[in-house]
């Protein structure tokens, strides 16, 4: 199928759920798993205790965009971020002052976004169309994908890589829409309605799959290089056997780390695919890492740190139980994490103690926080884009 050039608008169609073999109905069922996977009533969120602001955090700017689903991603670039909303808005913002560098509108709305390499940006619309956006925010082309997409596309060196719910991976030329290659992988029978993710290193794209694996492909031709299994399906029911990689993998040097849904966190050698370590962990958000530690938020609201070298737990913070925490972000000597009321708590990366807190617009912070230069950028469910600089 050839990409269709976009000259004026993308004709919107009624949004619908696309049936992919057995995937359509399970996708809806699995959407409820993150909140209460056990089926029991979730305990009340722990009230936030007052914090002595040891860390000084300055809000530098704010912007607004439409509502932002939990599985969206903020793309980071040198001196800029790209954000997208479900109603089809895409904006590139200067990370220093929040000024809009360009904005674009995808008329049919967006189901997955956003990825960018600084020249090209990509999102997937609500009709399963992959949309390429040019360096000035112009809509370049649209390609009709054969499957639902939740994982944000990755854009790297003029290529767009997209993973469908059926686990098919396709690569396109970002400028022309020419399909470069396709790689197929076995789909799981039940999917979590939460994005996976991809990272790129030294000519490889490493992709989290619904089977609890990270698969590595050559960027040039899509040939498989290695597979690393972090978790294997266990249990009797299909729900119990869900182990998909959730959230974008974290990478530091030649180590890539990821979470398998409600089962495992672990790290892999990005050059060879060798498993370095795994640990049992009950959670569903992405990890963050530096050269010393890996940090994740658990399903019950614990924030857990592990030694990057061997996965030995180093500290736990249990002061934000059941607050529906976002993925964490290691930024300098602190860990930033958002919650369901729009607060961002800052923890010491040394021992996990809370050293500061700031507020946003009161709506949930579900999208993983990012850092552009020294600026922390968070996006709320209601579309508030907030920038902070911790001292």
Q: Report pLDDT digits (tens) over 111-154.
A: 999 999 999 999 999 999 999 999 999 999 999 999 899 899 99
Spatial neighbors of 259 by CB under 8 A, at least 6 apart, are 245, 246, 247, 265, 281, 283, 284, 285, 286, 287, 296
Distance CA 122, CA 133 (A): 6
Q: What is the pLDDT of residue 13?
A: 29
Q: How many other C-beta atoms can be found within 10 angstroms of the C-beta atom of residue 237?
A: 8
Distance CA 284, CA 71 (A): 11
Q: What is the pLDDT of residue 109?
A: 97
Distance CA 93, CA 99 (A): 6
Segment 82-117, tens digit of pLDDT = 999 999 999 999 999 999 999 999 999 999 999 999
Domains of the chain from N-terminus onward: 72-186 (2.40.128.630)
Characterize the bridge pairing of strands 198-201 and 179-183: unpaired
Ranges of residues in the chain with a pLDDT under 50 are: 6-38
Q: How many other C-beta atoms can be found within 10 angstroms of the C-beta atom of residue 19?
A: 12
Q: What is the pLDDT of residue 26?
A: 34
Distance CA 331, CA 325 (A): 17
pTM of the predicted protein model: 0.89
Structure tokens at 377: 């950028």
Instruction: Find the length of the chain.
Output: 391
Q: How many other C-beta atoms can be found within 10 angstroms of the C-beta atom of residue 205?
A: 23
Q: What is the pLDDT of residue 237?
A: 73
Distance CA 66, CA 15 (A): 17
| 306: Cα within 13 Å, side-chain hemisphere | 26
């Amino acid at each position: 199928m050839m990409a269709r050039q976009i000259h004026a608008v993308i004709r919107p169609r009624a949004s619908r759920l696309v049936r992919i073999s057995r995937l359509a109905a399970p996708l809806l069922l699995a959407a409820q798993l993150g909140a209460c996977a056990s089926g029991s009533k979730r305990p009340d969120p722990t009230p936030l205790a007052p914090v002595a602001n040891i860390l000084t955090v300055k809000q530098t700017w704010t912007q607004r965009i439409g509502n932002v689903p939990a599985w969206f991603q903020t793309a980071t670039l040198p001196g800029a971020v790209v954000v997208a909303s479900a109603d089809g808005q895409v904006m590139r913002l200067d990370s220093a002052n929040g000024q809009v560098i360009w904005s674009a509108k995808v008329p049919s709305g967006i189901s997955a976004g956003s990825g960018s390499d600084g020249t090209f940006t990509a999102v997937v619309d609500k009709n399963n169309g992959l949309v390429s956006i040019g360096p000035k925010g112009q809509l370049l082309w649209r390609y009709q994908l054969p499957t639902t997409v939740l994982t944000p596309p990755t854009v790297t060196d003029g290529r767009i890589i997209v993973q469908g719910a059926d686990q098919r991976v396709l690569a396109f030329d970002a400028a022309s829409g020419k399909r470069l290659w396709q790689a197929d992988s076995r789909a799981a029978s039940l999917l979590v309605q939460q994005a996976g993710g991809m990272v790129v290193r030294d000519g490889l794209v490493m992709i989290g799959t619904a089977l609890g694996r990270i698969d590595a492909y050559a960027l040039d031709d899509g040939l498989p290089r290695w597979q690393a299994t972090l978790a294997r399906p266990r249990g009797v029911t299909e729900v119990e056997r869900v182990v998909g990689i959730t959230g974008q993998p974290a990478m530091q040097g030649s180590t890539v780390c990821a979470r398998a849904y409600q089962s495992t966190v672990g790290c892999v050698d990005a050059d060879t695919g060798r498993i370095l370590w795994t640990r049992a962990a009950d959670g569903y958000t992405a990890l963050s890492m530096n050269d010393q530690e890996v940090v994740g938020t658990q399903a019950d609201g614990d924030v857990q740190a592990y030694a990057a070298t061997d996965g030995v737990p180093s500290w736990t913070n249990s002061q934000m139980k059941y607050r529906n925490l976002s993925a964490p972000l290691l930024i300098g000597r602190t860990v930033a994490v958002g919650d369901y009321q729009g607060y961002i708590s800052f923890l010491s990366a040394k021992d996990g103690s809370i050293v500061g807190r700031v507020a946003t617009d009161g709506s949930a912070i579900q999208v993983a926080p990012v850092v552009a230069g020294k600026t922390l950028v968070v996006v709320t469910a209601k579309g508030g884009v907030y920038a902070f600089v911790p001292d």
